Amino acid sequence: MLIIGPPGSGKGTQAARISERLGVPAISTGDIFRDNVRRETPLGIEAKKFMDAGDFVPDTVTNSMVRDRLAEDDVREGFLLDGYPRTASQVLELDDILRENSLELDVVLQLTADDEELVRRLRGRAELDGRSDDTEQVIRHRLGLYHDQTVVVVSRYDERGIVVRVDGIGPIDEITERIMDALKVSS
């Protein structure tokens, strides 16, 4: 399963809850990056150069890290992937990775939310966390990037008929129940 949603939609929170309910690992590309950097793997050392400069980690490095992670034994019975793929080329790469590991993607869960609500939510979180870099302008830019990148990714999976959309606004428990209900229908 993939989980896709804009910044502030609660992907990380919901990924952890879904993972626990389904008994499958939640795999976040951010976690993969941090783990490889911490362990100082060759890919981690390469990724750190980009991360330290504030740049996106190139597809070649990201793809290799995801490939390594999805070859591990704990994903055989299922997994929830968060933060990948983000581009059309990564969709094709993920198809190859899954095929090589005799795995198949069953569902793409897209959390949807109104941009104005997300801006409000992210500004509130920035204030709580004391993050002065999360200005409204930066948040709107990140949302724009998400929309630009995700349209292509979601349309590829829409063509396959595996996208399930769930409203990501509301109390956390309600959203989790909406997701679990939607997943029952899609399976």
Written as tens digits, the pLDDT of the chain (187 aa) is 999 998 889 998 999 999 999 999 999 988 888 888 999 999 899 888 887 776 778 889 899 999 999 999 999 999 999 989 988 899 999 999 999 999 989 999 999 999 999 999 989 888 888 776 678 888 888 888 888 888 899 999 999 999 999 999 999 999 999 999 999 976 5
Residue 55 covered by a domain: no
pLDDT of 54 reads 66
Cβ(175)–Cβ(10) under 8 Å? yes
Known catalytic residue at 131: yes
Query: Could you say which of 123, 142, 156, 178 is catalytic?
Result: 142
Catalytic residue among 38, 49, 76, 131: 131
Residue at 75 is within a domain:
no
pTM metric for this prediction: 0.87
Residue 7 counted as domain residue: yes
Active site (annotated) includes residue 11: yes
What CATH number does the domain containing 96 carry? Answer: 3.40.50.300
Is position 9 annotated in a ligand binding site? yes
**Residue 60, marked binder:** no
181, part of any domain: yes
Q: How many domains does the chain have?
A: 1
Tokens of 11: 């992907």
The predicted structure's pLDDT at residue 96: 96
In whole angstroms, give the CA distance from residue 59 to residue 77.
26
Q: Which of the following is catalytic: 17, 69, 86, 121? A: 86
The reply to whether 37 falls in a domain is no
Q: With respect to residue 69, please indicate whether it lies within any of the assigned structural domains.
A: no
Active site residue 69: no
Check residue 19 and give its pLDDT.
95
- pLDDT for position 185: 72
Active-site residue, from 48, 125, 165, 178: 125
Q: Which of 119, 117, 120, 125 is nearest to 169 (CA)?
A: 117
Answer yes or no: is 184 a known binding residue.
no
Q: Catalytic: 125?
A: yes
Token pair listed for 59: 């597809």
Q: Positive or negative CA dihedral for 80, 86, 92, 94?
A: negative
Q: Which domain holds residue 114?
A: 2-28+80-186
Residues 6+ away with beta carbon under 8 Å from 106? 1, 162, 186, 187
Residue 47 within any structural domain of the chain: no
In a domain, 64, yes or no: no
Q: Any catalytic annotation for residue 86? A: yes
